[in-house]
Amino acid sequence: MSAPITTTHLDEADLRRRMVETCRQMNATGINQGTAGNLSHRLDDGFLITPTSMPYDRMGPDDLVLMRFDGTFTGAHRPSSEWRFHRDILAHRGDVDVVLHCHSIYATTLACHHRTIPSFHYMTGVAGGTDIRCARYATFGTQQLSDNAIEALEGRLACLLGQHGQISLGKTLDAALWLANEVETLARLYIQALAIGEPPVLSDEEMARVIEQMRRMSYGHAPDLDGVNDTPQAR
C-alpha cells in the first residue's frame, strides 16, 4: 500500500512526484479512466496542473505544467483543457489548495441527468452542506463551465458537472482524492436507492448537526455523547 498523499511542507520536486502518484491512484481506484480527468495544486506563485491528453501511466513529474493566475504557463506541454476552472477555483477559494476532476462512473451517471445528490445519507455532509449540487452544463474547457462550477461549489467541497463528471477539493492531495472516492460511493448508493424509489432525505437541522459533528472530529476529537467524552482519537 502506498504512503498517504500528503503535501504539507513538500518542495516542488516532491509535490510533482506526489501529484503523479495521485493521478495514478485515481485510475487505480476506478474513479478515472484513460486520459480523462485532471489535477492541480496551488503554489506560492501559481499552480501545477496536469498536461492535456497524456495518460497517467506515461506521465512523469517533469510533465506537469506550471501555470500562473493570468493564464500564462511554462513547461514542455500544454496544460489540461480544463485549466480555467482549476485557476478560477484556486483564485476564488483560499480554503483549498487542490482541485481534482474525474469522470467517475456513478457520479457521472447522475451528472448526465443533472441530478443533485440530496442528504439521503448523512455522509453527504462530507462535501460541506446538505447536498452535492450538479453544475449546469457548459462545453468543456470554457469560461462558462468554470463559472458554473464556481456557482455549484459555493459553500461546498465537491460538485457534479452536468453531463460531464465531478470536482472534489481539498487542502491536500490526500484529502481531495479521499473526497472524490466518497462522492463516487455516495453517487453509487443514491442510484441503487433510486431503484427502490425516491429515498427519504435527512432534514436540514439534522444535517447541520452532522456537519458540526464532522467539523469537530476533523480536529482530531471524537464528539461528546450524552456529556461523556469519547477517546480523543478521530475515527
pTM of the model as a whole: 0.89
> For this structure, is 206 an active site residue?
no
**Helix, strand, coil percentages in the chain from 3-state DSSP, rounded to 5:** 40, 15, 40
- What pLDDT score was predicted for residue 103? 97
Nearest to 18 by CA among 67, 64, 58: 64
Query: How far apart, in whole angstroms, are the C-alpha atoms of residue 57 and residue 51?
Result: 13
| Residue 78, strand partner residues | none
| Residue 36, strand partner residues | none
The dihedral region occupied by 175, where left means phi > 0, alpha psi between -120 and 50, and beta the remainder, is alpha
Domain definitions of the chain by residue range: 12-218
- Per-residue pLDDT of the chain in tens (235 residues, 90 and over written 9): 344 444 556 799 999 999 999 999 999 999 998 889 999 999 999 999 999 999 999 999 999 999 999 999 998 899 999 999 999 999 999 999 999 999 999 999 999 999 999 999 999 999 999 999 999 999 999 999 999 999 999 999 999 999 999 999 999 999 999 999 999 999 999 999 999 999 999 999 999 999 999 998 864 333 444 444 443 333 3
Q: Which of 21, 82, 151, 206 is catalytic?
A: 82
Q: Which CATH class is domain 12-218?
A: alpha beta
